[in-house]
Structure 1
Amino acid sequence: MYRPMIVILTLFLAAGCAAVNPQSETDSSAILPIEIQAALKPGQGAFAPDQFYLTAAASRAGYDKILLDPLLYYAPLEQMRLVSSGDRQILLNNFYILLNQELAKDFTIVRYPQPGAARVQFALLPVTRDAVALDTVSTALRDADESAVVRDLLASPLLKGRAYIVEAEWTDSLSGAVLGATVDRHFGRKTIDVAQIRNWADVNLLLQDYAALVRYRLCRFRDARNCIEPPEAMR
């Protein structure tokens, strides 16, 4: 039996919804509304997100299905795109497939809103204080398997010297009510040296580890047995 989503979200990943965010004294958000950004709290403990937000609605429902929306990539408006559009697309598609595969190990992945289904929107963006806007949307099919992950390209699409944020927003798939949100920097790691991510094999491993972190968080907070811990670097 799955525990209420409030338990799941207490240690999960980030969110919101705004097409363009103004420059501020804090890091820009891809999809978090201002009111949620203001309400974020720091995560605590091993494998916790950097920040999270919960609503009262999260404690009143349990979910055993997930509707995974296409992943979004946001980028600063005024900066030149140093990563090709093709690489940005592959990055999102690979990320979507790996997340979908991990979530499917413990949840039923659905294609449309229905009772018992939580909807999640993930977004990726470089850490910046500049205004950002939607740049790329994943196009991978929901039923794509790991064979669809692109592995034979050499150069890493992650910019050297840049840190990245993964955000996610959780809502009830039928009512649209916000359940909560979380924020992970460095793909869920305490730190990461992007300069050491030299090729697509390194990138895919980073994405796979993050997807495993997502699954582990859910497994632990369902009090399930034999939860597989992510690599030590994810602590």
Structure 2
Amino acid sequence: MLQKFGFTQYESQVYEAIFAQDQPLDATSIVNYSNVPKAKIYEVLNRLIDKGTVLTTMHGKKKLYMAVDLQSIILKIRADFEKDIEELKTYKIKRTFTDEHIWTLKDASSIASNIEQLIEEADSSILFLAWNEQMDKYRELLEQKEAEGVHVEVLAVGGLQSSLTHKYSLIPMIEDSKLEPSQLIIVDYAYLLFAGIEHDSWKAIKTTSKPIVKALTDYFYHDVALTQITKKYGDQLLQDEEIARLLARLIY
């Protein structure tokens, strides 16, 4: 059973052999009970001692070994696992090559985890366009990255309550039921994810292709500019029927 948690077969055999006895054992007895080769027994015992699963003491000239209670081992495995997970969260691998491929994602939870990862790994900038219900999931993380010195700009369709310095709100000009939600995030002007609804399911592309990143960066600022223009001069512009029709197609 312990092999499922990183123990070798010999370590598992030795631990179980010691644990099964009601008194401490010397190395010779452990060999007999565990069927681990005598040539390997001290190496295996030392590894178990280092892992904190076996205790040792001297009885006269003989060294004796006793197994740690299984419940204590369970607690230690859980604590070590949680510590490793926390370390993994802060571990960053930076790309050293240019990947021109366009990768596809077809699962909403996978898309969400990729967006969160992109935000967490941002070094210098984040551009994020999304409907407010999607963007709100990452609000605290975005605020944290801005506090760390990352330049963050967001365009939230429907508005967003946030302390972010550069936030823009687009209030839809048509019924919500007719809108097609999308999400666009560009990190460090190098990494891009664009997601939308297709056949009632979220689909996305992810790429570091420079032409695509540049084109959708322009797309982001194009929508920010039109949002701000509409906000400031909307009443005047909407008097023109053709302009009103074009503005109604902004983003959606």
Q: Normalising TM by the smaller chain, what interval? A: under 0.3
User: Given the two structures, how large is their TM-score scaled by the length of structure 2?
Assistant: 0.25
Larger radius of gyration: 2
User: Given the two structures, how large is their TM-score scaled by the length of structure 1?
Assistant: 0.26
Select the structure that is richer in helix. Answer: 2
Higher relative contact order (CA 8 A, sep 6+): 1
